[in-house]
A and B are shown apart, each in its own frame.
Chain A
């Protein structure tokens, strides 16, 4: 880059120095009407963290109730509401938008050297839709709660439950549009706005994973929308679609629901995989091993994910033929997942690894995703799942993938990019303590549940047999450690906003474009559109020499 006397090492001229997207304009109104992807990303970040906090409170309540085999703090119907709201908040308010809408929004344009996403106003609209959906969900909580489970299975949800199912499902319906619009925006942005020289194969792998995620969001989410609308119609107007008393087919609902929701689990994990790739590549100071393998396995996962939904329905009454087909197809998901795993390990091999805080999260991700993914194969095995379905084994499985993998990757990414987003460094020591407690508490809470599940503890039960009590109590103690870990992490990050040292442009020695602009970035991201001459993760020659 042409360095002249007036331009600093980031290519910023004196006019923009000291200005950034945070201080360019001020006031609440300037945020609410912004079309800057970075500000929208930050607002999403705050929102999903609130969702996470809400879901977390319900989680702790659920665990507390399960401390003893009989009533502990709430009655049975309150318990049903607590686990439903926990699941619904975590899935729809937190994990689905988490990485794409916050970190993705903030970093996708930066990483391809663009000024913004392709449709900045649509981006803002998607945030508003998310908020509107969230309001409907909150309204459901205040006006009677929801007790159907996050899966809204019929005929319970459409005809039996007396809680605010319509408000909750309508909220999810609206949030679905937010998800679709974000996906659409990302696809177009990646196709149209890459900086000169930024070919597809030079894109950081996080963007490949967001691309694959966006495909799923655009293709699958409409099906959820239609399903929930049908459910609302059946509940409100008694149109017989799913309810057998009205001539419907309840198993059809499960087909519809899982046709979205299985791909949706890849909406959750693919961005996490992408974040992990960035963290591992940066902190092993190597180019990613098997770049194309990782890139295409993301797309492969997205496509295969559409063919396996029925593995959630092995005991639903679907035909034996169907179950056999779905069990068979499910194993194909393991191939691209395995490809990724080995390429990550290949990236670490021979790298000069630095155990920064994000790297700890990155390594934890590898470890926890291995467990989560492999236990998925147990469950995909038809004969085994007949025993494990609807037990705590399933609960443990999906917490290892959703919380252990995606949420850990999200918090890893948050630490990785925090200096870039806020311009502040956090206290490394405190962040390590937060990480350690999170990691220990997580395994403590959820590994226990694998054991509970194999011993026959059913899922979503309020009271249980005395023989399960010690393990349940053990798991509950773990949840307190986990909760403390998150609390410390939040305190650490929040404190850095006030007391943190100013962050340099590139605190980790990263090789991707977002490190080549100021921390925090200027509103335009780059004063001059960058021209890309290096491959992804390739460092300029003088740096490695």
Chain B
């Protein structure tokens, strides 16, 4: 793929305003295109091999990443562009990875201390229906003082004002 393009490196992205379009030989585009097609076939093929939920996910994402890189580097010419743009591009990806990655440290690990906390409540009026365990208190009767005091702090907790009154 990376044929003799070293000569394109200068005069390009050297910040001299006018952008000279960067032209690649036709066969490079064809080569890239067939690589992408080939990798698509690999993706489909890999889905038939059982590597476990995580395994399949990782393989699929890996192939997708390679494909995206090829598109960005060659079709979008990032490879021959100003280095600064590559840094910006990669930082954007890292930034997204941080956001999604750290958020997953929550969504993938809920309920480790208290199993039912990891479940999505089915019935909002009675979120822990029949699944209360251990130290989660079940209010007796209609808890009068609690009801009086709860002027529902509008944004205090995300829990949908769980009032398990019918217990």
Footprint of B on A, CB under 8 Å?
76, 80, 84, 147-149, 151-157, 161, 219, 223, 244-245, 249-255, 259, 306-307, 310, 313, 315-322, 325-326, 390, 458-463
Contact = CB atoms under 8 A, between A and B. Distances in A.
Q: How large is the interface on B (under 10, 10 to 19, 20 to 34, 35 or more residues)?
A: 20 to 34
Interface string B95-115: 100110011011111111100
B155 interface: yes
B153 A244 contact: no
Contact of B112 (A223, A250, A317, A319): A319
B109 A321 contact: yes
B61 interface: no
A223 B99 contact: yes
Nearest to A250: B158
Interface in B4-58: none
B98 A151 contact: no
Contact of B158 (A153, A219, A310, A460): A153
B4 to A, nearest CB: 33
A254 B158 contact: yes
Contacts of A249: 107, 120
B106 A255 contact: yes
B151 A462 contact: yes
A84 B154 CA distance: 9
8 contacts: A148-B154, A153-B155, A156-B154, A161-B154, A223-B99, A318-B110, A319-B109, A460-B153
A306 B98 contact: yes
Interface string B68-82: 000000000000000
A-B pairs, top 8 by smallest CB distance, nearest first, are: A149-B155, A153-B155, A322-B106, A319-B109, A250-B158, A460-B153, A318-B106, A321-B109
B110 A319 contact: yes
B120 to A, nearest CB: 6
Nearest to A462: B151
A310 B154 contact: no
A88 to B, nearest CB: 12
B156 interface: yes
Contact of A306 (B95, B120, B158): B95
Nearest to A245: B124
Contacts of B154: 80, 84, 147-149, 153, 156, 161, 460
A307 B105 contact: no
A142 B99 CA distance: 36
Contacts of B160: 155, 244-245, 250
Contact of A320 (B109, B124, B156): B109
B151 A322 contact: no
Contacts of A157: 155
B121 interface: yes
A310 B98 CA distance: 13
Given A249-B107, A259-B99, A461-B153, 18 more contacts: A148-B155, A149-B154, A153-B155, A219-B95, A250-B158, A255-B103, A306-B99, A307-B98, A310-B102, A316-B158, A317-B110, A317-B159, A319-B105, A319-B111, A319-B118, A321-B105, A458-B153, A458-B156
A322 B109 contact: yes
B3 interface: no
A149 B99 CA distance: 24
Interface in B125-167: 151, 153-160
Contacts of B110: 317-319
B99 to A, nearest CB: 6
B111 to A, nearest CB: 8
A62 to B, nearest CB: 13
A317 B128 CA distance: 14
B151 A463 contact: yes
Contact of A244 (B105, B118, B120, B156): B120
Contacts of B108: 319
A459 B156 contact: yes
A321 B110 CA distance: 8
Given A245-B124, A254-B158, A460-B153, A319 B98 contact: no
A157 B106 CA distance: 22
A69 B113 CA distance: 38
Contacts of A310: 102, 106
B158 A325 contact: no
B155 A151 contact: yes
A317 B107 contact: no
Nearest to A147: B154
A76 B151 contact: yes
A219 B156 CA distance: 27
Contacts of A325: 102, 105
B47 to A, nearest CB: 26
Contacts of A154: 158
Which of A157, A245, A249, A317 has the largest number of chain B CB atoms within 10 A? A317
B98 A252 contact: no
A225 to B, nearest CB: 14
